[in-house]
Amino acid sequence: MADRLAIYRGALRLLGNAAGLSSLTETNPTRFRLDEAWEPAVNYLLAKGLWNFAMRSVELSNDEDVEPLFGRLYAFSKPDDWVRTAAISQDGSFREGYEEYEDETGWWYADIDPLYVRYVSNDEEYGWNVGSWRQPFAKTIEAYLAYESGLAISSDKGNRNDLYSVFTKLLKEAKTLDAVDERVQKSPVGRLVRARLVSGSRRAR
């Protein structure tokens, strides 16, 4: 479970700032610099991966007030909290993807209605729910905050490249771990397990 103050403190440790922060209401230039970098940093990181904690699934209905383009039959408005698309399907199970659509700015155009979409959301209950962030993502935010606000806080130009290297390494690790979790969630039941389930079901009869 992540915490904004803990993330700020982690960013300051990377900058060699031993004093840190006592609270998110502390009135000093250091906190103000981190506050300025906070929202852009989180939004940037949300767009960099297909994060499980930020994933949302919706059923979209055709927007009848919009003229479809590209010869498609229907137009669908992208949700206000949409960041990037993970999957599009013609049913809510998402077992099979749907590829016969066009993507343009704030719309999807397709020949089916409704349209089912899984996407990274920046809603406060999804991507912006700090308490749901896993530690690898939180650590990545720490490094990016340090990189973005480092010059304003420490004036150390020589440290900037090192911070970016730390950030890219942590981002890669966070995305890898998140992808592993996704594979585990979707892993099919093996033959041995299926056989045991069938055997147990027969015995229960």
Average pLDDT in the chain = 87
Residues 61, 95 contacting (CB under 8 angstroms): no
Neighbours of 196 (CB within 10 A): 12
Residue owning tokens 């940093």: 41
Tokens representing 162?
């090192």
Asked whether the predicted pLDDT for residue 2 surpasses 90, the reply is no
- DSSP code string of 170-181: HHHHHHHHHHHH
Q: How confident is the model at residue 55 (pLDDT cuts 50, 70, 90)?
A: very high
What CA–CA distance (Å, rounded) separates 96 from 79?
22
- Would the CA dihedral through 25, 29, 31, 34 be positive or negative? positive
More confidently predicted of 204 and 25: 25
What's the rounded mean pLDDT across residues 191-197? Answer: 39
Q: How confident is the model at residue 30 (pLDDT cuts 50, 70, 90)?
A: very high
**Packing angle, helices 29-46 and 4-14, rounded to 10:** 100
Give residue 181's identity as a one-letter amino acid code: D
Residues 2, 135 contacting (CB under 8 angstroms): yes
Give residue 167's identity as a one-letter amino acid code: F
What CA–CA distance (Å, rounded) separates 151 from 147?
8
Q: What is the structure's pLDDT at 152?
A: 73
What CA–CA distance (Å, rounded) separates 171 from 117?
25
Give the residues across from 108 on adjacent strands: 76, 103
- Share of residues in the chain with pLDDT > 70 (%): 85
Q: What is the structure's pLDDT at 155?
A: 65
Q: What is the structure's pLDDT at 201?
A: 38
CA distances from 160 to 17, 85, 167 (A): 15, 32, 11
